[in-house]
């Protein structure tokens, strides 16, 4: 949609430019047409705006941590498969602290099984995880999900329904969500884990569905490198 | 003239179609379309039924233009009633879309899910459409206002129903009740567990 829309804009300018370059009065039918085009443009930008705004379940009290700020060391809980615990380098009992995840970059997605945008995003998240693996990044870059307001049961529903390939934690009482700024869903935090300073830095954020897994990953890696 | 017009018409058709498609796919509800209710008194009614009681029969209009009654499921299906307080409010709008991905859990346990609110049919219809639609029937307990909700004892003093779940077996007996804090969404887990136990007991 956005491609079509942006492709349209230069076309409109070109035609306006041609008209403007012409000397003398503009014929009546053409001015009507021009007005029509302008109205169409306005209508389209309105529709495009509302369509894009719909790609997230917004939160009225949202105040995400901005890029560059320090992310608290979140306490994560959930029923994780042994291979997922191993993948993240986590041992021992819950809760697991975010800082104990063995990674340089953590991509945290706040989701909910109740959020239709997250339901639609699930295959893209699996794609993102596959991309991390196929690019040989899985030792350094870990994708995790936190089910905002979701019980273990509800997280399991989401895991089963979409055959989710990456570790999902649950946040039934919104404790994690309070720490990350009561964000809407899906919300992405790209986090840089600095082993020396023992600090977790927010490298980048995104509310709503990503454009594509590969462009998101490229962007995330760039932001994470810049934060270092 | 017509030569000039064709590209514009084409562009108009293409471009008007494109955002509409995108809207149909991105079918959540934007924040500014919802009414912020703020924090409400968690419960504002006194339950009139208990587990083991026969459920009051009902006949309610549904958003597909039909009616639904408890009697039609007698001997055939268990019935799960999901009451939400009001259309176009944030917590309610974030509840039924979750049930959209668990139809199999209802089917496996011979359970018919029915969504209910005291809003009128056109309002419920518009709201459910904007949520992107749901697979289960949505019924209106609008007139006489909240009759079913009142019979169950979940009609609040302000006229909305409590956010609540009732599981009724094939004989019309209430097997599970969760009258929830109106401000938060009930965990799906306990309802599904009750549905599975009921199904097991019926085998």
Give the tens place of pLDDT for each residue, A92-126.
Answer: 899 999 999 999 999 999 999 999 999 999 999 99
Whether A64 is covered by a domain: the verdict is: no
Pairwise CA distance, residues A223 & B64, whole Å: 49
Q: What is the CATH number of the domain that holds A192?
A: 3.40.30.10
Q: Are residues A159 and A118 in the same domain?
A: yes
Whether A31 is covered by a domain: the verdict is: yes
Nearest to B8 among A33, A58, A119 (CB): A33
Whether A61 is covered by a domain: the verdict is: no
| β partners of residue A207 | A187
DSSP string, A187-208: EEEEEEEETTTTEEEEEEEEES
- Of the residues B68, B80, B92, B168, which is catalytic? B92
- Catalytic (active site) residue B16: no
Q: Are residues A128 and A180 in the same domain?
A: yes
pLDDT beyond 70 at B6: no
Q: How many folded domains does chain A comprise?
A: 2
> Is B28 close to A48, i.e. CB distance below 8 A?
no
Q: Are residues A165 and A93 in the same domain?
A: yes
Q: Are residues A93 and A180 in the same domain?
A: yes
Q: Are residues A89 and A201 in the same domain?
A: yes
Q: Are residues A88 and A128 in the same domain?
A: yes
Positive or negative: CA dihedral A21, A25, A30, A36 = positive
Task: Select the more confidently predicted residue: B51 or B131.
Answer: B51
- pLDDT tens figures, A27-52: 566 666 666 665 665 555 444 444 44
Q: Are residues A119 and A174 in the same domain?
A: yes
**A143 contacts A179 by C-beta, under 8 angstroms:** no
Whether A62 is covered by a domain: the verdict is: no
Q: Are residues A90 and A42 in the same domain?
A: no
Q: pLDDT above 90 covers what percent of chain B?
A: 76
Q: Are residues A152 and A40 in the same domain?
A: no
Whether A228 is covered by a domain: the verdict is: no
pLDDT beyond 50 at A54: no
> Is B95 close to A114, i.e. CB distance below 8 A?
yes
Q: Are residues A99 and A156 in the same domain?
A: yes
> Is A40 close to B12, i.e. CB distance below 8 A?
yes
Whether A70 is covered by a domain: the verdict is: no
Q: Are residues A86 and A153 in the same domain?
A: yes
Beta-carbon contacts below 8 Å between A and B: 109
Query: Exposure pattern of A161-172 as b/e (b: 16+ CB <10 Å)?
Result: ebebebbbbbbb
Q: Are residues A81 and A176 in the same domain?
A: yes
Full residue range of the structural domain in which residue A215 is found: 75-223
**A186 contacts A162 by C-beta, under 8 angstroms:** no
- pLDDT tens figures, A145-165: 999 999 999 999 999 999 999
CA distance B152 to chain A (A): 27
Whether A65 is covered by a domain: the verdict is: no
Whether A150 is covered by a domain: the verdict is: yes
Both tokens assigned to B47: 């339950």
A157 touching B, CB under 8 A? yes
Average pLDDT across chain B, whole number:
89
């Amino acid at each position: 949609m956005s491609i079509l829309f942006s492709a349209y804009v230069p076309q409109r300018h070109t035609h306006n430019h041609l008209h403007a370059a012409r000397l003398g009065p503009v014929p009546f039918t053409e001015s009507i047409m021009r007005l029509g085009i302008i109205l169409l443009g306005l209508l389209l930008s309105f529709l495009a705006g509302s369509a894009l705004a719909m790609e997230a379940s917004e939160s009225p009290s949202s105040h995400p941590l901005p890029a560059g700020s320090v992310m608290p060391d979140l306490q994560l809980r959930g029923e994780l498969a042994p291979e997922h615990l191993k993948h993240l380098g986590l041992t021992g009992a819950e809760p697991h602290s975010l800082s104990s995840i063995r990674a340089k970059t953590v991509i945290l997605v706040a989701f909910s099984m109740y959020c239709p945008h997250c339901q639609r995003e699930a295959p893209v998240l699996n794609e993102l995880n596959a991309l991390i693996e196929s690019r040989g990044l899985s030792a350094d870059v870990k994708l995790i999900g936190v089910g905002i307001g979701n019980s273990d049961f509800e997280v399991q529903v989401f895991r089963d329904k979409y055959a989710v390939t990456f570790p999902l934690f649950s946040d039934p009482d919104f404790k994690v969500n309070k720490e990350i700024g009561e964000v809407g869903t899906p919300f992405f935090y790209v986090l840089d884990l600095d082993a020396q300073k023992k600090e977790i830095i927010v490298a980048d954020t995104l509310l709503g569905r990503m454009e594509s897994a590969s462009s998101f990953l490229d962007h995330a890696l760039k932001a994470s490198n810049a934060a270092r | 003239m017509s030569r000039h017009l064709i590209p514009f018409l084409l562009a108009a058709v293409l471009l008007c179609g494109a955002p509409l498609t995108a809207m149909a796919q991105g079918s959540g509800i934007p924040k500014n379309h919802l009414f912020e209710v703020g924090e409400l008194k968690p419960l504002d009614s006194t339950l009139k039924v208990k587990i083991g009681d026969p459920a009051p029969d009902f006949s309610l209009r549904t958003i597909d233009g039909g009616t639904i009654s408890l009697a039609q499921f007698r001997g055939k299906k268990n019935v799960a009633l999901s009451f939400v307080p009001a259309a176009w409010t944030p917590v309610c709008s974030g509840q039924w879309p979750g049930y959209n991905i668990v139809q199999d859990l209802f089917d496996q346990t011979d359970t018919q899910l029915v969504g209910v609110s005291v809003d009128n049919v056109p309002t419920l219809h518009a709201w459910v459409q904007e949520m992107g639609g749901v697979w289960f029937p949505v019924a209106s307990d609008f007139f006489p206002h909240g009759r079913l909700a009142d019979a169950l004892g979940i009609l609040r003093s302000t006229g909305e129903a409590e956010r609540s779940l009732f599981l009724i077996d094939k004989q019309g007996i209430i097997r599970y009740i969760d009258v929830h804090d109106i401000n938060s969404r009930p965990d799906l887990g306990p309802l599904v567990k009750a549905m599975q136990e009921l199904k097991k007991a019926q085998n």
